[in-house]
A and B are shown apart, each in its own frame.
Chain A
């Protein structure tokens, strides 16, 4: 993995922890750790520095697990 991406992954986890108070793994579903759609957007907004970046909200519906979400966010951050 690109070291830069590593940093982002650490940032992502740290940001998620600001919103999620329960332990989680990649297999955790977003619902069971209480990450609803508003919160996921807040996580993204907190991580992506480019205010002009556009999110395709429909893509969020496909993200069911934390692993999927993390990978998707990493994609947004490093795009």
Chain B
């Protein structure tokens, strides 16, 4: 039992730590761990006496805390040497190793804040008498960074026998009380409240810095951390010092300037938000004291990449530093209250990154304390923490990171950026911010998946002709009731090519295809290629105006097939007959010259943001590369039977047809199954012993659902592409039941064709719900270019630019649009700018983060709508879920639409609340009979938003807050909150946060709940659903 002599005030900063201590089950999170090298001639008894003297001379080190009836601190009476929390360890060998072990043990042990002292120490002394170390762990509530020097001074004096404990103790205790009083009074000033309001308002309008943003980024972690030391050499330190002097800024401003640029780069933003602890001691006497007199405030720094580092430091950063210095009295919790951030998860609610300017670790000459060093405790309070310490040997930088949020490769990338930026800034402060950095993912950009088989020639026609010649009797194309052998295919292609040549088709011309059967389509395609011409799929179901635009833009003057595409059209049979009639003399296909890898293959139109579709002209070289890759990557050979599922106007159809023929396999028609009739397609796959299918992402789930109970003996590959692939248990189960079948997620815009893949199979233990797009295929370079214009480090969002053997020739007859998207690569050839936001994840795999329309911001947080949808779709009965964001600014929120059987929206809401941070939980959920789709089969979110407006208005009219209850527990809790919030009757189902609840009054409320009901409700559980009704439920569950 702690013997106490008096109580002391508790500052708001200390209260904040008490809340964290209660809410975070990591007892050592706020432990300060210090290693002091001592004069080895001092005996164990000397050290014990000295430490006891320090404890008695430093009243804060004798404080303990309690929460009830209201938070308070208690000052314990002085210690006797026997009571001092010190363990002596004589060490006869491996002193360093033993020190490391003792440090680790000290670091791991937490504190009970109710028991003084909040300090432990271990004294290691080499039995040889040549080494002596005092390790101290102390809780942050009583010890800030500035406390190190008073501690060391007192310890030094005590070891020298100069610390007059009895003389200083009363004055120090009085000084502590005076300082705590001053802190409390200063915090109560109206001006502080106004400053807190202003900072809070600013933060509400600011986008949080999120490092390594990705789908399913944990909202809660176990705070495991790792710390890396980055000592700057004396030369580098001197360069930094010179730059600081030349710029006329403080070290805080200099390091903030570099750190803000690093955070902006790694957060993928033009702004950085980070916190910094500011020394807030008010009284002169407090400067001799250990204690926790710190306010941590946020800095919001705009980053203009074209601005010089010098200007950035002197303007944007210095202004911000000046601002926080003026606001130094504002307690952190007050800012939290006014910023009103989401309290989901257990992360710091205001900022994810921290910059701590540490006090000097130098000790005076002759001191018995030879050196001072602070250590990490294997925890991380922030996603990223940077400590900057002036040491006798130069600047010491330390980066601490939460290992769940920022895995080691990501933290290493941040460290690289930081060191590089500091070096550049120090060497030349006029360097533009973007040039503080360099290309980071050079290796990743050029690292392909390695699948490749050497193509026999550089053009597709030559390749296919060779294969056909070698397998004359094998079936090349198969549709219901008809099969074409390679020999027959070769004859038909030659004849139709001759027929086309006779109708004026020359190399480079564009030939429309309106063929309706697979056999005719394949014949026509290959005939066009034989002439070194380019085919243009024309879907006659398209509006006439759109077809006319396509034909006109592509300068297409002839078509093969039927119907009326707006240009002369010739059936395959007619062309074949004409070609055959021509005989040897008509074999005009031989006069088209030597094929080139630059010859066009097809034009495919894709939607354009300006309203008119644009035609992508794809040529031989990328497609030969793709084919050579695909044969190896998908194990394609003569036994391959590839289902032709995609409409011809989608580039996927190329991958179904051409590589199959290059492998000597068989292209199998989907028909008679209707493309939309998935069970019929599944049956067709079974009936025709198909080995490869390639589906749009949206069709995967219906496909595996329709396959329930069926066994696929022949199927080897299921490929998908088109949009972000998210998988659930139904999909995983299908592949678990079919260990021989691989799922391949392919990514690639029409402008490049497929360029990256990620493969999954039953062998993979981890199937991420948000499937990565993987790594580039052979011959392709994938550059992620971040906001600085450099290749992005791992974990940094950037635009994906695709180069190597993949970009198309451009948009047909659209030089300006082509120049805009197909850009020169300073490092090589042409790159296509996808406009897609991606990142290299910690494993060096590309993750697609969407385009702006799939990524929304809710109260400053990035939200991937797909993530919300996946969670909803995992709920029983939900067949499809689509989330949309509506409203502006602080009112922006998610609305979820679900197609569901027997929807239980309350249960779904609970599921979402359980699985997602609050800002991702849709405010409202509606059931719909059908999810509206756009013309190309994608979800029509604009239509859903319009529906949402009407539905929300209806729902609001029906809403009336429940404010009365017959349940005595609910009534009691309502009364409790009514008192705490000064609200007549808080509605039972409304978020108490909206009514003014925050962590501090929640702490009081839960303490009183514990007192009255004998149950301890974790504060994080309360914040998950902060309503009176939910709190009542939590209490009931625990009774």
Q: Which residues on A are within 8 Å of B, measured CB to CB?
A: 29-32, 34, 36-38, 41-42, 44-45, 48, 50-58, 60-61
Instruction: State A52–B249 Cα separation when bound (angstroms).
Output: 32
**Residues A61 and B283 in contact in the complex (CB < 8 Å), given A32-B248, A37-B250, A54-B182:** no
**Residues A55 and B248 in contact in the complex (CB < 8 Å), given A37-B325, A61-B325:** no
**Residues A57 and B329 in contact in the complex (CB < 8 Å), given A31-B253, A51-B283:** yes
Contact of A41 among B178, B247, B248, B279 (CB under 8 A): B279
Give 18 A-B contacts (CB < 8 Å), ordered by A residue: A31-B249, A31-B250, A31-B253, A32-B248, A36-B251, A38-B146, A38-B279, A38-B359, A41-B287, A48-B284, A50-B284, A51-B284, A51-B288, A53-B283, A57-B328, A57-B329, A58-B329, A61-B326
B907 contacts chain A at the CB level, 8 A cutoff: no
Check if B284 sits within 8 Å of A53, measured CB to CB: yes
* Least CB distance, A33 to chain B, in whole angstroms: 8
Check if A31 sits within 8 Å of B248, measured CB to CB: yes
| Residues of B313-341 contacting chain A, CB below 8 A | 322, 325-329
Check if A58 sits within 8 Å of B325, measured CB to CB: yes
Chain B residues closer than 8 Å to A31, beta-carbon distance: 244, 247-250, 253
Residue of B nearest to A59 (CB): B326
Instruction: State A11–B251 Cα separation when bound (angstroms).
Output: 26
Residue of B nearest to A57 (CB): B328
Query: Which 10 A/B pairs are nearest by Cβ-Cβ distance?
Result: A51-B285, A61-B325, A45-B287, A32-B248, A61-B326, A57-B328, A53-B284, A58-B326, A48-B284, A36-B250
**Residues A36 and B328 in contact in the complex (CB < 8 Å), given A54-B182, A57-B280:** no
Chain A residues closer than 8 Å to B284, beta-carbon distance: 44-45, 48, 50-55
B375 contacts chain A at the CB level, 8 A cutoff: no
B942 contacts chain A at the CB level, 8 A cutoff: no
Check if B327 sits within 8 Å of A58, measured CB to CB: yes
Known: A34-B245, A52-B285. 10 other contacts (CB 8 A): A36-B252, A38-B359, A44-B284, A45-B284, A52-B175, A52-B178, A55-B283, A57-B282, A57-B328, A57-B329
Instruction: State A27–B279 Cα separation when bound (angstroms).
Output: 26
Instruction: State A41–B182 Cα separation when bound (angstroms).
Output: 16
**Residues A37 and B171 in contact in the complex (CB < 8 Å), given A53-B284, A54-B182:** no
B281 contacts chain A at the CB level, 8 A cutoff: yes
Residue of A nearest to B283 (CB): A54
Chain A residues closer than 8 Å to B328, beta-carbon distance: 57-58
Residue of B nearest to A36 (CB): B250
Instruction: State A41–B178 Cα separation when bound (angstroms).
Output: 18
* Least CB distance, B240 to chain A, in whole angstroms: 12
Residue of A nearest to B191 (CB): A58
Instruction: State A51–B247 Cα separation when bound (angstroms).
Output: 36
Instruction: State A41–B149 Cα separation when bound (angstroms).
Output: 14
Check if A61 sits within 8 Å of B248, measured CB to CB: no
* Least CB distance, A37 to chain B, in whole angstroms: 7
Chain A residues closer than 8 Å to B249, beta-carbon distance: 31
| Residues of B382-400 contacting chain A, CB below 8 A | none
* Least CB distance, A65 to chain B, in whole angstroms: 11
Residue of A nearest to B252 (CB): A36
Chain A residues closer than 8 Å to B146, beta-carbon distance: 38
* Least CB distance, A52 to chain B, in whole angstroms: 6
B-side interface size class: 20 to 34
Instruction: State A48–B322 Cα separation when bound (angstroms).
Output: 25
Instruction: State A10–B327 Cα separation when bound (angstroms).
Output: 32
Q: Which residues on B are within 8 Å of A, measured CB to CB?
A: 146, 171, 175, 178, 182, 244-245, 247-253, 279-285, 287-288, 322, 325-329, 357, 359
Chain A residues closer than 8 Å to B247, beta-carbon distance: 31
Check if B279 sits within 8 Å of A37, measured CB to CB: yes
**Residues A54 and B282 in contact in the complex (CB < 8 Å), given A36-B252, A38-B359, A41-B287:** yes
Contact of A32 among B182, B245, B326, B359 (CB under 8 A): B245
Instruction: State A42–B250 Cα separation when bound (angstroms).
Output: 16
Contact of B281 among A32, A41, A56 (CB under 8 A): A41
**Residues A61 and B250 in contact in the complex (CB < 8 Å), given A48-B284, A54-B283:** no
Check if B287 sits within 8 Å of A42, measured CB to CB: yes
Chain B residues closer than 8 Å to A57, beta-carbon distance: 280, 282, 325, 328-329
Interface-central residue, A34, A51, A52, A53, by most chain B CB under 10 Å = A51
Check if A55 sits within 8 Å of B285, measured CB to CB: no
Chain A residues closer than 8 Å to B279, beta-carbon distance: 37-38, 41
**Residues A55 and B282 in contact in the complex (CB < 8 Å), given A34-B245, A61-B326:** yes
Chain B residues closer than 8 Å to A38, beta-carbon distance: 146, 279, 357, 359
Chain A residues closer than 8 Å to B248, beta-carbon distance: 29, 31-32
Chain B residues closer than 8 Å to A60, beta-carbon distance: 325
Instruction: State A44–B284 Cα separation when bound (angstroms).
Output: 8
Instruction: State A52–B281 Cα separation when bound (angstroms).
Output: 12
Chain A residues closer than 8 Å to B251, beta-carbon distance: 36
Chain A residues closer than 8 Å to B283, beta-carbon distance: 51-55
Check if B175 sits within 8 Å of A51, measured CB to CB: yes
Instruction: State A11–B328 Cα separation when bound (angstroms).
Output: 28
Chain A residues closer than 8 Å to B250, beta-carbon distance: 30-31, 36-37
Instruction: State A58–B244 Cα separation when bound (angstroms).
Output: 23
Instruction: State A44–B283 Cα separation when bound (angstroms).
Output: 10
Instruction: State A48–B245 Cα separation when bound (angstroms).
Output: 29
Chain B residues closer than 8 Å to A29, beta-carbon distance: 248
Instruction: State A29–B248 Cα separation when bound (angstroms).
Output: 7
Check if B245 sits within 8 Å of A51, measured CB to CB: no
Chain B residues closer than 8 Å to A45, beta-carbon distance: 284, 287
Instruction: State A60–B248 Cα separation when bound (angstroms).
Output: 17
Instruction: State A48–B240 Cα separation when bound (angstroms).
Output: 33
Instruction: State A58–B359 Cα separation when bound (angstroms).
Output: 20
Chain B residues closer than 8 Å to A34, beta-carbon distance: 244-245
* Least CB distance, B157 to chain A, in whole angstroms: 17
Residue of B nearest to A35 (CB): B250
Instruction: State A66–B288 Cα separation when bound (angstroms).
Output: 25
Residue of A nearest to B245 (CB): A32
Instruction: State A61–B283 Cα separation when bound (angstroms).
Output: 17
Chain B residues closer than 8 Å to A41, beta-carbon distance: 279, 281, 287
Contact of B171 among A44, A51, A54, A58 (CB under 8 A): A51
Chain A residues closer than 8 Å to B281, beta-carbon distance: 41
Chain B residues closer than 8 Å to A48, beta-carbon distance: 284
* Least CB distance, A71 to chain B, in whole angstroms: 18
Residue of A nearest to B241 (CB): A34
Chain A residues closer than 8 Å to B329, beta-carbon distance: 57-58
Chain B residues closer than 8 Å to A50, beta-carbon distance: 284
Instruction: State A29–B322 Cα separation when bound (angstroms).
Output: 14
* Least CB distance, A78 to chain B, in whole angstroms: 14
Instruction: State A44–B279 Cα separation when bound (angstroms).
Output: 14
Chain A residues closer than 8 Å to B252, beta-carbon distance: 36-37
* Least CB distance, B848 to chain A, in whole angstroms: 45
Instruction: State A50–B247 Cα separation when bound (angstroms).
Output: 36
Instruction: State A29–B318 Cα separation when bound (angstroms).
Output: 14
Residue of B nearest to A37 (CB): B325
* Least CB distance, A47 to chain B, in whole angstroms: 9
Chain B residues closer than 8 Å to A52, beta-carbon distance: 175, 178, 283-285
Interface-central residue, B178, B249, B284, B327, by most chain A CB under 10 Å = B284
Instruction: State A52–B171 Cα separation when bound (angstroms).
Output: 10
Instruction: State A16–B350 Cα separation when bound (angstroms).
Output: 37
Residue of A nearest to B322 (CB): A61
Chain B residues closer than 8 Å to A61, beta-carbon distance: 322, 325-326
Instruction: State A61–B182 Cα separation when bound (angstroms).
Output: 19
Instruction: State A18–B413 Cα separation when bound (angstroms).
Output: 40
Instruction: State A41–B283 Cα separation when bound (angstroms).
Output: 10
Instruction: State A57–B324 Cα separation when bound (angstroms).
Output: 11
* Least CB distance, A75 to chain B, in whole angstroms: 14
* Least CB distance, A59 to chain B, in whole angstroms: 9
Instruction: State A42–B285 Cα separation when bound (angstroms).
Output: 11
Instruction: State A34–B288 Cα separation when bound (angstroms).
Output: 23
Residue of B nearest to A50 (CB): B284
Instruction: State A57–B327 Cα separation when bound (angstroms).
Output: 9
Instruction: State A9–B764 Cα separation when bound (angstroms).
Output: 75
Instruction: State A32–B171 Cα separation when bound (angstroms).
Output: 37
* Least CB distance, B949 to chain A, in whole angstroms: 47
